[in-house]
Amino acid sequence: MKRRFLFALALVSCALPLQCATLERLSLDDMVAKSTAIVRGKVTGSSAAFSGPVIYTHYTIQVSERFKGGQQGTLDVVVPGGTANNLRQSFAGAPVLNTGDEFVFFLFTGRSGLTTVIGLSQGLFAVSGGGADPTVTRQASHELMLDPATARPVKDETLVMKMSDLRARIAAGLGGTAK
């Protein structure tokens, strides 16, 4: 009886969304410095799978422009949360991407080999509008954020700029040359 109760409790806790996350607020310069790759690309597909007790959604990104990192034409980017084996997990601050969405991704590849968006949704700039110089927007996070210098709570802000301005900021952060 006790074993069934513990199993049911574990099953329910996996299905419930996690409601709290505390993030270090990252400036654009921080993201440029801490990212192992920065790319512009479109989401072309997704799938979700368990990795231990956590469900991760794997997104396939077709790279159209590279600012930092290797030369792959496609990338596998993982985000915590998703639906696998009829169970759903969600994590506060974790973005949900849709096929066809275009972003500038600030990415980090860890020792495990998994590539994630840096700072959860902080490392995503949505690309909108056509033409030679579209607008990029990073939505403000609604999660609790801390200033890394003071460890005090801070409010995040939406960033909106032209792609040419973002390219210039990335190049400046990389010492003047995008790699």
CATH number of the domain that residue 37 is part of = 2.40.50
Is 4 within the bounds of a domain? Answer: no
Q: Considering the domain boundaries, does residue 76 fall inside one? A: yes
Structure tokens at 179: 């790699």
pLDDT at 12 over 90: no
Q: Is 13 domain-assigned?
A: no
Residue 92 placed within a domain: yes
47-90 confidence digits (pLDDT tens) = 999 999 999 999 999 999 999 998 889 999 999 999 999 999 99
User: Does residue 164 fall inside a structural domain?
Assistant: yes
Global confidence as pTM: 0.82
Q: Is residue 65 part of a domain?
A: yes
Residue 134 lies in a domain: yes
Residue 70 placed within a domain:
yes
160 Cα distance to chain centroid: 17
Number of structural domains in the chain: 1
The set of residues, in sequence order, having a beta carbon less than 8 Å from that of 61 and lying 6+ positions away, is 39, 41, 42, 43, 44, 74, 75, 76, 77, 105
Task: Look up the domain containing 148 and give its range.
Answer: 21-173
